Chains A and B, each alone.
Chain A
Amino acid sequence: MLSVRDLDVTFRARAPVLAVRGVSYDLAAGEHVGLVGESGSGKSAGALALVRLLPDYADVSGRVMLDGADLLRLNERELRAVRGDQVGIVYQDPFSSLNPVLTIGKQLTEVLSKHKGLGARAARREAARLLETVGVPNAEERISDYPHQFSGGMRQRAVIAMAVAPRPALLIADEPTTALDVTVQAQILELLQELTSEHETTMLLITHDLGVVAGVTQRVMVMYAGRIVESSSTEDVFTRASHPYTVALHRSLPRIDVRQERLVTIEGQPPDPTQLVRGCPFAPRCPSRIDRCADEDPPLMTIPTARRAAARGWDMASIREEDGEQVPGPASPHLTACWNPPDPAGDEPGPAR
């Protein structure tokens, strides 16, 4: 349904920021995929680039095929028809993503009249129904409220109502729960899950919180320094993480069953995004790095191949041959960008279950 190839995003600045480097992935219709990474890993930039909503100083290249059309080649007018209609976006902070001077109802009816061609009266009725659907109590009355009269959770519900109103095929949720408190987080995730399942909407859920993707997604892609370093079923990523970075992430999660004096951290810093990294970007912080990591960036490959790569004495050509254009898909294998991934079967150094 959505197919991204070699997506590069560069922010022009005195020192250009290489936010996303050669990212490729596929999303199947109705699939829920998590995009996980720390701040600055390029996850939001990569997602907003899909519908070209980045500021003017961002250069985007690659291919983004949505139902046969390359979104990066469309002109502004054609793109406008895609935005909202086919691709909906839920933003991180519902306190800043609603227009403060228009009522919730006005903002919703605008979307409905633009995308569904509804008349004023019908749009208003539909808006109230939608608000009801997303769980705003007394929708009929609250429709004439301004955003500042809504609580954070209610606002995010309204934002979600706007995003799903035109029934988009793809919903991009950019850290939809980060600005909300924990109890509301769960409700919002549940709501997203419900709405997207109901209409078989594909959802790309961006977050830095592993806990968020656990319940909602079928597949998870882990980003580090603008690259996807691991892509697998959600279960695999949680129980058999294969990239050393993912493993380290799991280790640094606080655990409820173990008494800890200090949280585990990953030593070092992510690479400077203005510098072109030679070799694997995680190598300097990686506990299982080998000499080769400093020179070559490992491609995404299936786990057995990666394992054999070490055994075969790093024969690059044979890896490329075997994996070919290995691209993750709905039923895709467990992919990792590491020559020497931790053994998923063993307890070490994979995360504890």
Chain B
Amino acid sequence: MTAGRLRRLEEAVAPTRFATTMESLRPRTFLEFYGVGVIVVMVTAIAAAPLIAPDPFAQDLPSALAGSSADHWLGTDNLGRDLWSRILYGGRVSVVIGVFVLLTAGAVGVLYGAVSGYAGGMVDAVMMRIVDIFLSFPSIMLALLISAALGPTIRNVIIAIAAAWWPVYARLIRGQVIVVKEREFVTASRALGAGPMRNLLWTVLPNSFGVMKTIFVLDIGYAILAGSTLGFLGLGVSAPTPEWGYMIREALQYPTHWWFILSPGLALLLFVSAINFAGGIVTRSVHEDPGR
């Protein structure tokens, strides 16, 4: 058989790398299906909120704190606003916080940790002591302080949580970089004349992401929780913007109207736990393909 024919045969049989990756990212267990399903449904609903829910700001004081009805599927809050609508719009805030906290803290942390680990020596020691200082605060405490200082907007909540979180990523990626930079292909790349920047960005970093992928996915859930915690403590996104944490805080004053507190609480629980279950897929995928 000629090499060409063998090659074509291989191609017919072997899936592409992209297909392999997609295959390993397919949910397999019940919990993984559940997680992915809940995320898909909730994100779709959140995205389609204007089409399937009324105005979340429209007040209807006479029917405040009403139970479920045809007009208000989940009932109304203390100002007569539609809870279903406020849950969906509140989800938008949560998703934005979750994603952007990860992007910001991830970018800063990865860059900082990579430089620290790659440089090594005194630079590394000094940079990591700074990280230690950040880590010596409880992260929610730090986020609270920053949020209180900056004022309650979505942007500031993202900054506050990201500022508290990046040191975790910095430390994590530093450990990986230190391991990877000793591997032979890094020296091989230096032997070909690669400078430190090229080496770090093309050779070391892409090989240091394995663990990060898992943690990133799980942390989206925790970032959403952190955002809601700030909201619950009154230092998150400010009224009247709907936000799950702040809604729970308001509902606490009306303990007899169970649907008021249950709706945002359940939304938070469903969403964050779904992200956790779905995160298992990424963990498994990373384990199955240690080359990446």
Contact = CB atoms under 8 A, between A and B. Distances in A.
Contacts of B292: 100-101
B192 interface: yes
Contacts of B189: 99
B13 interface: no
A138 B206 contact: no
Interface in A66-98: 77, 80-85, 87-89, 91, 93, 96-98
A83 B291 contact: no
A51 B188 CA distance: 12
Contact of B193 (A84, A96, A102): A84
Contacts of B192: 83-84, 88-89, 111, 114, 162-163, 166
Contacts of B121: 56
Nearest to B205: A101
A137 B3 contact: yes
Contacts of A163: 191-192
A115 interface: yes
Contacts, number: 81
Nearest to B2: A137
Interface residues of B, number: 26
Interface residues of A, number: 36
Interface in B262-292: 291-292
A93 B187 CA distance: 12
A110 interface: yes
A80 B202 contact: no
B193 A93 contact: no
A70 to B, nearest CB: 18
A267 interface: no
A102 B204 CA distance: 11
Contacts of A102: 202, 206
26 contacts: A53-B191, A55-B182, A77-B195, A80-B193, A82-B193, A83-B190, A83-B193, A89-B191, A91-B191, A93-B184, A97-B188, A98-B185, A99-B202, A99-B206, A100-B291, A101-B206, A101-B291, A101-B292, A102-B202, A114-B198, A115-B193, A137-B4, A138-B3, A159-B188, A162-B192, A163-B191
Interface of A: 51, 53, 55-56, 77, 80-85, 87-89, 91, 93, 96-102, 110-111, 114-115, 137-138, 141, 146, 148, 159, 162-163, 166
